[in-house]
Chain A
Amino acid sequence: MSISEELKQSIRTNLKKVMDKGAEYVDARFYTHDDSETLLFYDGNLEANDTSFESGLGVRVLWGGAWGFAATSNPGEIENCFELARRNAETAARLMRLPLGMSKKPAHKSSFTSPVKTDPFTVPLKEKLDFLKAIDDRLTADWILKRFVYAEFQKKYSYFFNSEGTEVSKHLANVFAKMMVMALDNEGQMQRRSQDLFTTGKGTRGYEMLTQPELFSGHADRIKQELAELIKADSLEYGRRSVILLPGQGFLQVHETIGHPLELDRILGYELSYAGGSFVNLDSFGKLQYGSEKLNVSAFGGIANSPGSFGFDDEGSPERDYLLIDQGILVNALTSRPMIHEANEVAGRQVFADVSGGCARATAFYRAPIDRMTNVNILPGNDGTLEDIIASTEDGVVLDNPVSWSIGSNREHFHFGCEIAWEVKNGKKTRILKNPTYQGHTVEFYNSLSAVGDASTWQVWQVDNCGKGEPNQIMQLAHGVPAIRFDNVITGERK
């Protein structure tokens, strides 16, 4: 279903009305569809067989240098919604120090559609259930205490309008899936192995992505086998050693300690009361040695098959491909139009070029866009395959898949727990170890980056639940990460 001409006209008329009253900028997003379907087999029982359909309007108004926002799920309330957003901005402007702004941009009319061969919502439910049940059957064994497999399909059809005359229609599609097996170890503790649906970055984002065995179902037997060894394994002992993060762990390391601290709204202090601040400040750009020379990080909105690729953000800015960290030096941030404007005002110089990073995104029509990660990637390096990296490691562990993550409020330090570790001694993978954890201080940690795997090790891992902002917003994105090794890292827990 697309938006009716009548509705479009009503939105344009109301935009103009608010501008005529004195607004500096207005944008509106109408979602005809924000649909999701969740299917979950838990121990073979279909515990979730849910659909959710949402639609409605969100309006953002810049008035007197301050933002107001309003949303409604009632299509009969469009005019009121614009007026409420305007009044909210007017009230906000009474408590304002530095007027917020948006530098003017030329109008454009654009559209974006996620590449999809088969829309999951058109696949019969029975077929989807049979597919997941077949995976569940493969995960089943007497000794496995718990298991689950789930898939989530999302469809978002949105229509963006702003007072500059820009109009963008987007049809976005996402597919997420995860499977997990759990069993008790020899000490009665629950251990687990899991696999998420990941991508290579290439390909399409429809149902066909889920059914490619190498991206998901083909990993069922491996995680079972690894769990069988894990429940007999010793715990990782406390000590300093190298850690080699596989993309299944590296993606979250990048997410938490590069992605979040480089969100410009966070750097400017807009997340202080909730998610926290950032150890990065406006003077850090071009100067901070964030990591070793092997560290190259990009924000790339254009990865073909990723939830972090969406054509245009929720301010109508196109997605971009640019470096955040260049040979270890911090060079750019995750940006949106108002945050670039404010950062340059605050600094009294041009810290950022006046080109949005295309990072302004909202979780739903009823939330205002904020700076979000697109695809924040570590670029492949020159240290060969995973085997090559292991061969050049004296004393370390290979780590995969997060169990827990806890990060300092300015992202300056962190603590991660993983599902599994493989000990590495003198260039050889030896035994499996359980309960692996590691911790570190962000800048020191990335400066200990000593090996970056080549393109053969690079995978795109999806994130379906990045939380940020107030009111809270969940966002979908991804990280392309190769195998990466860090040296002299604190691992395990003190006795």
Chain B
Amino acid sequence: MIEQKIREIFCKVRDKAAARGICASFSLHREKSHLMRIGNNSVSLNTSENLCRLDVEVINGRQTGTHTQMGDISSVEYVEKALELAVEKARVASPKEYAPIPVVVEENVDESVQYDRALENVEPSFKGDGYQKIIQTVGEKYNFSGSWSSGSVELYLVSTENRNEAYHLGTDQDFNVVLKHPEKKWELINKQNGWRQSDFSADAAIKSFQNLLPFYEKVPGFKPEPGEYTVAFGAKALAEVLMMGSFTGFYGRGWEEKQGWTSKNQLGDKILGENFTLVDDPACEGTYRFGFDLAGKKRVKYPVVEKGVLKGLLYDNSTCARYNKPQTGHSTGSVSLTMLSGQDSEDMLAALKGKGRVLVIPALHYLNIPNSSKGIFTGSSRFNALLVEDGKVVSPIFSSRVTDTFASVFSNLSLVSSVNHSINLSNTYGRRAPVAYSVPSYIVAEKVKITDSADSF
């Protein structure tokens, strides 16, 4: 919990800057992070980080400068020193053609709705014991690897535009364990996500492996020849494809600049199928909830695509300034989004009865966008991939490449699960910034293009 002393330091520097006529914002990002990494059935790294960052942005008319300083917020002088660096940068900066929008903390916020003290202070041995149980129960003969990141993030934001303060405290975790057969080379994964220590269950991981192992152990891999297939994407694959599709189709910057696959569309156009609805819902429990963005804007429920119709684009602060658009609360690196669930059975295999041959691809490895204008994405199957016929598992699938368009996949959904899963999409580059998508546990898309496949997993 942020110390009163730090609030006082920030407010004092803010008030002094305001009195000097400086337009500035100050934010604190403090994280307490822990990560345990598993390799070859052992802990390969057990690491703790306590890091604190101060970000200062100064706007001088049409000139801007920002400075980030890592270290503890020890004094007024410490913050003022960073402010002076940003002031000087903004003084020298080349003026923009448009007026930057200053950070305005719209209202006082003090939120900790997704904070679990137990997770923030979790003992590394809790994680070690969890992995130990999974490895011992499922079997030492397999090669286990994985990682388990957990921690807390504090964000505190003030600006010279008013006297409001916004504060966020939250915890998050991202658990995964990978089981690899040492000779046959296939890989299975279990992934869990949440903001409470109790969201993790070793038994759930064990059960998921025990369900899949018989198929992988007994039946050789299937190599799909390039062509069109009915594909069931699992939640992880779906969340990652959606994140890529959002970056290239639903962000205001890309749309204004005609860079993405929706650039020829207008709001109100039907771009995807009836059974596709995507929303930014800051109250959705399956996402990481933030009540304000880094521009101080209060975040509210915001439809992106409703029954296939493009409803809203996600604008960051500088895009709003440049293209004269209202702020939407998306001045942040990544936004957690929710795809609404459908009508189909939670039991995917039951839902696939009568669907004939279906490739089940729960996860896609190394997604990328060869053509953003056409919305083409590509990635290869990796974990837990299965060939299913009429709802019965036939065999695992060799590493196969999917190369298709967002528009095609999300316009041809024949099944959408009625239950949502939360998928952690955070990375741990740089500062801790939790992101999760809440998505149906599976979708089934028709006529998906498989463009290559290997003879191995």
Contacts and interface: CB of A to CB of B under 8 A. Distances in A.
Given A97-B40, A273-B145, A470-B149, A189 B366 contact: no
B114 to A, nearest CB: 21
Interface in B412-457: 427-430, 449, 451-452, 454, 456
Contacts of B365: 276, 408-409
Contacts of A366: 49, 51
Contact of B378 (A46, A270, A415): A415
A49 B452 contact: no
6 contacts: A50-B68, A51-B68, A55-B70, A73-B51, A277-B180, A406-B378
Residue with the highest number of chain A CB atoms closer than 10 Å, among B46, B257, B427, B456: B46
Contacts of A184: 258
A408 B41 contact: no
For chain A, give the interface size range: 35 or more
Interface stretch (A101-109, A313-321, A433-441): A433-441
Interface string A269-283: 110111011010000
A274 B147 contact: yes
A98 B45 contact: no
Given A53-B69, A408-B454, A409-B365, A273 B96 contact: no
Interface in A384-411: 403-410
B262 interface: no
A141 interface: no
Interface centre among B63, B90, B370 (most CB of A within 10 A): B370
Contacts of A190: 258-259, 263, 372-373
A488 B318 CA distance: 47
Interface stretch (B124-132, B201-209, B213-221, B300-308): B124-132
A272 B180 CA distance: 9
A72 B66 contact: no
Given A56-B70, A404-B370, A69 B47 contact: yes
B42 A51 contact: no
A493 interface: yes
Interface of A: 41, 44-56, 66-74, 76-77, 84-85, 87-89, 91-98, 100, 124-126, 129, 133, 145-146, 182, 184, 188-190, 268-270, 272-274, 276-277, 279, 366-368, 403-410, 412-413, 415, 417, 435, 437, 439, 441, 467, 470-474, 490, 493-494
A405 B368 contact: yes
Contacts of B176: 273
Given A70-B47, A471-B33, A472-B427, A408 B128 contact: no
Interface string B210-250: 00000000000000001000000000000000000000000
Contacts of B123: 91
Interface of B: 33, 35-52, 63-72, 85, 88-90, 92-98, 123-125, 128, 131-132, 135, 143, 145-147, 149, 176-178, 180, 185, 187, 189, 226, 257-259, 263-264, 318, 322, 365-374, 376, 378-380, 382, 399, 401, 403, 427-430, 449, 451-452, 454, 456
Counting chain A CB atoms within 10 Å of each CB, which of B43, B51, B146, B322 scores highest?
B43
Given A49-B66, A53-B68, A190-B372, A71 B149 contact: no
B452 A269 contact: no
A413 B380 contact: yes
Given A91-B46, A182-B259, A49 B93 contact: yes
